[in-house]
Amino acid sequence: MPDTFRIIVTGKGQYLANAGDTLLEAGQRAGFGFPSACRNGNCLRCQGTLLHGSLTQRIGNLASNTRTVYAGDADAARVLYCVAHALEDCEITVPDITAPGELPVSDVSCQITAIDTLNHDVSRVMLRLPAGRKLRWHAGQYLMLALPAGDSAFSIANAPGGRDIELHVRHNAENPPSLDVIEALRQDSLVRARLPFGERFIGETLPDRPVWFICGSTGFAPAKAMIEHLLASGFQHPIHLYWGARTEADLYLPALPLQWAAAHNLRYVPVLSESADTAYRSGLVHEAVLADLGDPAAAEFHIGGSPPMAWAVFDALAGAGVPADNMHSDVFDYAPRG
């Protein structure tokens, strides 16, 4: 009989558990944020459902008093993982569990402290988190704002830490709902936010290779957060920032990447698709990246922009030999191709 079992946590990932480990302790050792308190079968904090497989679970406080639970049993919906041992590979659900590196989602009321115009159609919205709530997020993640017309997602444009959150909101007549969004924010002093969301981030463990950021429009926002995080963390590898826009006027915050490039190991390449200004690279942003790409497998790529733009960059880079696992964009999760 094998003494190590694969435990799938629905929607969160998987880990290995030795026969002598409880599912709780093996999961926590693998980095899962398993809810728990007593670790002794009393508080019910770790309770969840066994979907596939079988396990033994202790009953009461006597170690010798156990029962076997099979998926589909009535008891399978009330498994206490702190006193459960796998008998085979299992799939389980655990309410409120977080995957390794995943942070818990909070729902908070934020103060809207400033709205500044950055260019003809992008505004910077500053939010302040409530005092006394220590919220964590990773650079590159996003939040959801509860607005009158429904929830809207925005990338967080500043590095984690502190109480202030920066958003870049694009609003123009080509996208009428975006006008309602900025108007709603201007009309109120508070907004409810849920955060953090997103799997494509740079966490506390920094990449051990160069990082390329390829963005269009407000896809610059998550790139900005990740670049600020890398620079503040002493990242030593080169950083490449390629920002595509139609015209120079679309490049909001134009001085910031130039400041980064002057002070750090960062190369900034703005690329304009509808401008004859010879001071800029012309064409589409991924064309400029392909022209400058060295070893396609030696770097990590973060892509920010609309689904068509992100997938076009993905296809172009994949065609040039960049491994799919080296490319990251929230688009790949919320707008996957069939």
Which residues lie near ligand FES (CB under 6 A)?
36-39, 41-46, 80, 82
Q: Which is nearer to ligand FES, 30 or 43 (CB)?
A: 43
Cβ-based neighbours of 214, under 8 Å, separated by 6 or more: 242, 244, 285, 286, 289, 301, 302, 303, 304, 305, 313
In the bound state with ligand FES, the residue whose beta carbon lies nearer, of 42 and 109, is 42
CB of 101 to ligand FES, least distance (A): 22
Report, in Å, the least distance between residue 24 CB and ligand FES: 6
What distance lies between CA 182 and its chain's CA centroid? Answer: 24
Residue 37: CB minimum distance to ligand FES, A:
5
Q: Minimum CB separation from ligand FES for residue 11, in Å? A: 20
CA-wise closest residue to 269 among 300, 298, 291: 291
Q: Is the dihedral of CA 267, 211, 203, 153 positive or negative?
A: positive
Closest approach of Cβ 298 to ligand FES, in Å?
A: 45
- Measuring CA to CA, which residue among 226, 236, 247 is closest to residue 303? 226
| CB of 38 or CB of 114, closer to ligand FES | 38
Min CB(43)–ligand FES separation in Å: 3
The residue among 39 and 229 lying less far from ligand FES, judged by its C-beta, is 39
Nearby residues of 19 by Cβ (< 8 Å), 6 or more positions away: 2, 3, 4, 5, 85, 86
Q: Tell the smallest beta-carbon distance from residue 25 to ligand FES (Å).
A: 10
**Nearest Cα residue to 22 out of 9, 43, 41:** 41
> Is the CB of residue 110 less than 8 Å from the CB of residue 144?
no
Three-state SS at 316: helix
Q: Which is nearer to ligand FES, 80 or 125 (CB)?
A: 80
* Assigned token pair, 37: 């308190």
* Choice between 80 and 227, CB closer to ligand FES: 80
C-alpha distances (whole Å) from 297 to each of 232, 279, 294 are 26, 30, 9
Closest residue (Cβ) to ligand FES? 82
Q: Which residues fall within 8 angstroms of residue 324, CB to CB, at 6 or more apart?
A: 314, 318
